[in-house]
C-alpha cells in the first residue's frame, strides 16, 4: 500500500478523523505559542521571580467563582503610562494618574502593591503621592516617595527606575501603616497602636469601621487610585504607574506557589511536548528503519554488526545513564532528547530487518536485481515504499512514548528547570506539596494535557491499523 492510500485509509474511519482533528488542534495551539511567546520565555519570564511579583500565590482559576456562593476577590492590575490630567501651579506642575476600579467582594484584597517606572526629569526630582479614594467619599493618603536627585557627574535628562521599576508592598510598608493609623484617628476617632494594624491594612482600607475597635464590615463599590506626580517642567514625568489589588482567584488556570500564570506555562509546554514527540519519533524511526533495511538486505557482517549493536543498546539501563549525564553536564532538554533518540532505535531495527529478510527473496526484488539496479536503489526506491505504512504507524506510536518519557523524567526532577514543560509543572506541584493541600488546578491540567496528547496519537494509530493489518480492511 502506498503512502497516499494509507492516508486515505486513515481518514476513512471516524477514529482516524478524530485523531487528525485533535492533532490539528494541538498544532494550531503550538503555532499560536510560537507566534506570540518569545523563544526565551523560559529563561527570561517563567524562571524570573520578579516577573511574577504582582501576581497572587497559589490562586485558583477565576471561573471557580461561578461555583461559589460567596465569590472570592479577583486579581486586578491597574496600569497607566500617561497622566489623566495635568494642573499648572506657581511652584510647578502636578500630573494626576487616575486608576478607577470596582470592588464588589466581601473579602478584602490579599495584598496591595504599587510600582513606579520610567521616571525622567531635567532639574528637580519629582515627588509622588499615592492616595485611595473610597466609595464613602474618604480619601486615604497611602504613600509618599521622593525620587532621588541627580548624582555627581550625571548629565540631564536624568532617568530613574527604567530597567528596575520601584515596587512597594503597600500592605506591609511602615509608612502606609502610619497613614492608615492617621486615617482612623481623623475620620473615625479610633486611636490604635501601629503594631495592632499589622496585617489589617487591606481590611481597613476596604471596609467601614463598625465602632467596635478595629472591627469592620465590607465596603463595596467603586474605588479610585490617585497618583499625583509633582514635577518642575512639562517634559518631566513618569512613564509607568501600576497599582495591584491582590485577589484570591486569577485567570483561566490559576497560579502556582510563585505566582506564575499556569495558563502561560501550559501553553508554552504544548510546542515543547510536540517538539519532543515529533523530533524523537522522527529521528529514532529514521535511524531504526535505515539500519533495519541495511541489516536485512545486505546480510553478512553488516547484519551481524548492526544486530549486535542493537542488542547492546537495547539492554543498556537508560535511567541510570541519564542521571549520570545530567549530573555531569547539568539538566538540559537537549541531553534528554539525545538519550531518548540514542536508545529508541533498536526495536525498530529488529522489526524492519525481519520484514526485509522476507522481502529480499521475493520475485519483485529478484526481478529488479536482474535488471541491474544498484543495492541503494533496490533498498530505498523499491523496498522502503512497501514498508512505509508500517514505518508511519510506528512513527506515530513513538511520539507519545517520547512525550511520556520526558514527562516522567521531569516528574523525577531530571528535566530542564528553565523550560516550562508539563512534566516540570507536575513535578513542582508535587514537590511543593500542592497535591496534599488541594491545589488541584496545579496538578490536574498538565496531567490531562499529557493524556490528551497521548490519546491523539493513539487514535491516529488505531485509524492506521487497517493499513498495517490487511485483514481489517477485508472485514470492514
State the first-to-last Cα distance of the chain, in angstroms, to the nearest integer.
17
Query: Which stretches of the chain drop beneath a pLDDT of 70?
Result: 1-3, 366, 369, 467-476
The predicted pLDDT at position 1 comes to 53
d(CA 466, CA 33): 35
**294, containing H or E segment:** helix 262-298
Residue-wise pLDDT for 49-106, tens only, equals 888 999 999 999 999 999 998 999 999 999 999 999 999 888 889 999 999 999 999 9
Of residues 114, 26, 128, 60, the one with CA closest to residue 450? 26
Nearest to 83 by CA among 227, 189, 209, 278: 227
Matching residue, cell 528637580? 124
**pLDDT value at residue 284:** 93
Burial class (CB in 10 A: 0-12, 13-18, 19+), 18: middle
How many residues belong to the chain? 476
CB–CB of 277/455 below 8 Å?
Answer: no
Long-range contacts of 321-327 (CB under 8 A, 24+ apart): 322/409, 322/414, 323/414, 326/414
| In contact, 11 and 20? CB cutoff 8 Å | yes
Grid cell digits, residue 323: 542521571
**362 Cβ partners below 8 Å, 6+ apart?**
none
**Cα 202 to Cα 207: distance, rounded to the nearest angstrom:** 8
CB 340 within 8 A of CB 275: no
pLDDT of residue 370: 72
User: For position 4, what pLDDT does the model report?
Assistant: 73
Cis peptide before 343 (omega within 30 of 0): no
CA–CA separation, 426 and 252 (whole Å): 17
Q: Report how far residue 287's alpha carbon sits from residue 309's, in angstroms, rounded to the nearest whole number.
A: 13
Amino acid at each position: 500500500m502506498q503512502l497516499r492510500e494509507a492516508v486515505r485509509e486513515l481518514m476513512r474511519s471516524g477514529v482516524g478523523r478524530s485523531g487528525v482533528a485533535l492533532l490539528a488542534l494541538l498544532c494550531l495551539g503550538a503555532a499560536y505559542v510560537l507566534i506570540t511567546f518569545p523563544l526565551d520565555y523560559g529563561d527570561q519570564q517563567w524562571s524570573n521571580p520578579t516577573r511574577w511579583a504582582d501576581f497572587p500565590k497559589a490562586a485558583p482559576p477565576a471561573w471557580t467563582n461561578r461555583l461559589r456562593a460567596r465569590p472570592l476577590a479577583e486579581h486586578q492590575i491597574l496600569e497607566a503610562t500617561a497622566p489623566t490630567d495635568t494642573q499648572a501651579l506657581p511652584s510647578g506642575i502636578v500630573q494626576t494618574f487616575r486608576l478607577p476600579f470596582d470592588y464588589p467582594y466581601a473579602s478584602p484584597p490579599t495584598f496591595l502593591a504599587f510600582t513606579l517606572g520610567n521616571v525622567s526629569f531635567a532639574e528637580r526630582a519629582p515627588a509622588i503621592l499615592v492616595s485611595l479614594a473610597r466609595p464613602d467619599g474618604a480619601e486615604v493618603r497611602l504613600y509618599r516617595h521622593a525620587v532621588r536627585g541627580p548624582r555627581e557627574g550625571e548629565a540631564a535628562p536624568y532617568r530613574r527606575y527604567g530597567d528596575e521599576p520601584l515596587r512597594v508592598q503597600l500592605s506591609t510598608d511602615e509608612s502606609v501603616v502610619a497613614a492608615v493609623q492617621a486615617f482612623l484617628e481623623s475620620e473615625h476617632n479610633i486611636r490604635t497602636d501601629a503594631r495592632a494594624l499589622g496585617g489589617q491594612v487591606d481590611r481597613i482600607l476596604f471596609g467601614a469601621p463598625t465602632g467596635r475597635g478595629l472591627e469592620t464590615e465590607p465596603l463595596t463599590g467603586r474605588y479610585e487610585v490617585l497618583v499625583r506626580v509633582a514635577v518642575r517642567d512639562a517634559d518631566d514625568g513618569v512613564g509607568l504607574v501600576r497599582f495591584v489589588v491582590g485577589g484570591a482567584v486569577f485567570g483561566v488556570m490559576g497560579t502556582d506557589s510563585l505566582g506564575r500564570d499556569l495558563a502561560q506555562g501550559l501553553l508554552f509546554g504544548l510546542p515543547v511536548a510536540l517538539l519532543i514527540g515529533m523530533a524523537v519519533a522522527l529521528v529514532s524511526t529514521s535511524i531504526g528503519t535505515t539500519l533495519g533495511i541495511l541489516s536485512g538486505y545486505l546480510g553478512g557482517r553488516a547484519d551481524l554488526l548492526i544486530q549486535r549493536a542493537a542488542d547492546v543498546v537495547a539492554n543498556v539501563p537508560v535511567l541510570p545513564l541519564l542521571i549520570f549525564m545530567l549530573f555531569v553536564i547539568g539538566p538540559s532538554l537537549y541531553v534528554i532528547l539525545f538519550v531518548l533518540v540514542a536508545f529508541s532505535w533498536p526495536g525498530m531495527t529488529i522489526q524492519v530487518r525481519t520484514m526485509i529478510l522476507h522481502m529480499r527473496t521475493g520475485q519483485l526484488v529478484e526481478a529488479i536485481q536482474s535488471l541491474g539496479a544498484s543495492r541503494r536503489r533496490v533498498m530505498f526506491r523499491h523496498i522502503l515504499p512497501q514498508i512505509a505504512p508500517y514505518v508511519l504507524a510506528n512513527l506515530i506510536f513513538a511520539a507519545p512514548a517520547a512525550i511520556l518519557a520526558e514527562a516522567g523524567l521531569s516528574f523525577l526532577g531530571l528535566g530542564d528547570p528553565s523550560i516550562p514543560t508539563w512534566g516540570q509543572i507536575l513535578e513542582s506541584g508535587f514537590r511543593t506539596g500542592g497535591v496534599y493541600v488541594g491545589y488541584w488546578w496545579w496538578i490536574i491540567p498538565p496531567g490531562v494535557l499529557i493524556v490528551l496528547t497521548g490519546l491523539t496519537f493513539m487514535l491516529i494509530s488505531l485509524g492506521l491499523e487497517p493499513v498495517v493489518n490487511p485483514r481489517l480492511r477485508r472485514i470492514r
